[in-house]
Structure 1
Amino acid sequence: MTDWKEIAAYAVILVIVLIAAQHLNVVVSGSMEPAFYRGDIVLVEKADFLGIHEFDVNDIQKGDVVVYDAKWFNQPVIHRVINIAQINGTVVYEIKGDNNNASDPYFVTRDQIQSKVVTFGDNLVVIPKVGYLSLWLRGL
């Protein structure tokens, strides 16, 4: 017979894995090279994770790397904030991939920002190449 402590331990491990998985994003393109590469995984903090605000979107600064819901692409985009402005009283972010020649086609508003890539000191938290399996499984 299975001990209740063993079941509880498995439940705790499952919860930790599920929470960790929600804080990892696989990089699908080379638009942010050399900061990170296709197939890398970045650690993110969420603007809203089950009602918990792990960072305040109002605190986004020029140079931050964010994950946002792009109006021009069917998946979230991970790019760097290069400028912050106000248009008709609304704060907007100009965002660009480090390896791209031009900014993303539309300004981004606060409500589009889902996550921010975690930094340790001045370095982005990146796990190299581990995401290739995920890309392969998803046919990307």
Structure 2
Amino acid sequence: MGVTDDEWLRTAVHVVGVILLIAAVAPFVVYGVPQVVGADHGFVVLSGSMEPAMSPGDAVIVREASPDEITERDIITFQTDSETPTTHRVVDVVERESGEAYVTKGDANEDPDSGTVPYDRVIGEVLFVIPLIGYVVNAVNTPVGFVAAVVVPLALFVGSELWTLLHSVDDDVETGGDGGPETAGGHAAATDGNSGAAGSVGSHSAADVDSEGSAITLTRSSLQLLAVVFALYLPYSAYAAYKLTEAWAITGAVATGIGFLFVGGLYASTAGDDAPPADTEDGPPDDPDGGAAAAAAGETTTVETDGGTHGG
């Protein structure tokens, strides 16, 4: 069958969406983990002293450099008396007894910075600038921005996946309950000479499904253990997030809470799985030998003779 125009359109939209998603996420990955591009640090530009090379809200990616690698016209990030590092351009390199020092100046400033910057105060050399993402980074670093940009999307995603999983568990239980009698009936009815072949084909199909559809199985005891672990770790992670107020600590606490809810939902969805099946009043009485009799009735044997193999 050929590919329809609608299928081509859906594929093209999917590919374009993936490309746009990667393009949107990649700058933040580089800023958060600059090692992926061979850098060491990421900083957000707060002032316009280096315009037009970089503007407030831009992010600079910085790599550590040796004294020999820093020359005039390079842009370096260095530590000052303030807690916030400064990023300016090197306008002169001065040789001193203690080592090299650098005269720096902002591109938008008229005069050089007061004093010189010794090498031991240099954080690194600017590799490149990522425009505008600093606004997003600064917003996410606030409590409200972190909740809006991280916690809420993560909670919605996990909630959606949990909802889908719970519904799939319910559907599997209903499907298994309806399919069991039909399978048993199919094997019991196979009494003629071809029943052995039919039963053999059915057995191989079931084995193929089991091998191809393999999945991780969690028992109720495993879910209980996971729930206990999450419940014990949740207070500690919440306390650490409250005391540290760091993004990683808050993320850990949120992930622990979501994991606890996820495991709890799975455990609740399996609450009725251990209940024994109810006896039906109208059904036939239990016959422990019925299965063996049915199997014997449908069993086939082969006897080798001079003329070949015949079914008996």
Fold shared, TM-score > 0.5 on shorter chain: yes
SS in structure 2 at match of 1:131: helix
Are residues 1:66 and 2:51 paired?
A: no
- Partner Cα separation in structure 2 for residue 31 and residue 100 of structure 1: 6
State the Cα RMSD in Å: 2.4
CA contact (8 A) 1:28 1:135 kept: no
The corresponding residue for 1:94 is 103
SS in structure 2 at match of 1:24: strand
- Partner Cα separation in structure 2 for residue 93 and residue 80 of structure 1: 9
Decide which of 112, 121, 129 is 1:103's aligned counterpart: 112
SS in structure 1 at match of 2:71: coil
Decide which of 84, 88, 92 is 1:83's aligned counterpart: 92
User: What is the correspondence of 1:1-140 to structure 2 with a 5 Å cutoff?
Assistant: 19-20=33-34, 23-45=41-63, 47=64, 55-71=65-81, 73-88=82-97, 90-118=99-127, 125-136=128-139, 137=141
For normalisation by structure 1, the TM-score amounts to 0.67
- Partner Cα separation in structure 2 for residue 77 and residue 88 of structure 1: 24
Residues 67-86 of structure 1, C-alpha deviations (whole Å, 9 max, x = no match)? 00113x33110000000112
- Partner Cα separation in structure 2 for residue 102 and residue 18 of structure 1: 33
Greater RCO, 1 or 2 (C-alpha within 8 Å, sep 6+): 1
**Alpha-carbon distance change, 19 to 105 in structure 1, aligned in 2, over 3 angstroms:** same
Q: Which of the two has greater strand per residue?
A: 1
**Alpha-carbon distance change, 17 to 101 in structure 1, aligned in 2, over 3 angstroms:** closer
Residues 94-122 of structure 1, C-alpha deviations (whole Å, 9 max, x = no match)? 0011011111112001100011101xxxx
Q: Which of the two has greater helix per residue?
A: 2
SS in structure 2 at match of 1:134: helix
Identity rate of aligned residues, in percent? 31
- Partner Cα separation in structure 2 for residue 69 and residue 17 of structure 1: 19
**Structure 1 segments (4+ residues) deviating >4 Å:** none
| Paired residues, number | 109
Displacement of 1:127: 1.3
For normalisation by structure 2, the TM-score amounts to 0.32
CA contact (8 A) 2:88 2:107 kept: yes
Displacement of 1:89: 5.5
What stretches of structure 2 of length at least 5 have no aligned partner? 1-29, 143-312
Task: Please say which structure displays the higher CA radius of gyration.
Answer: 2
Displacement of 1:41: 0.9
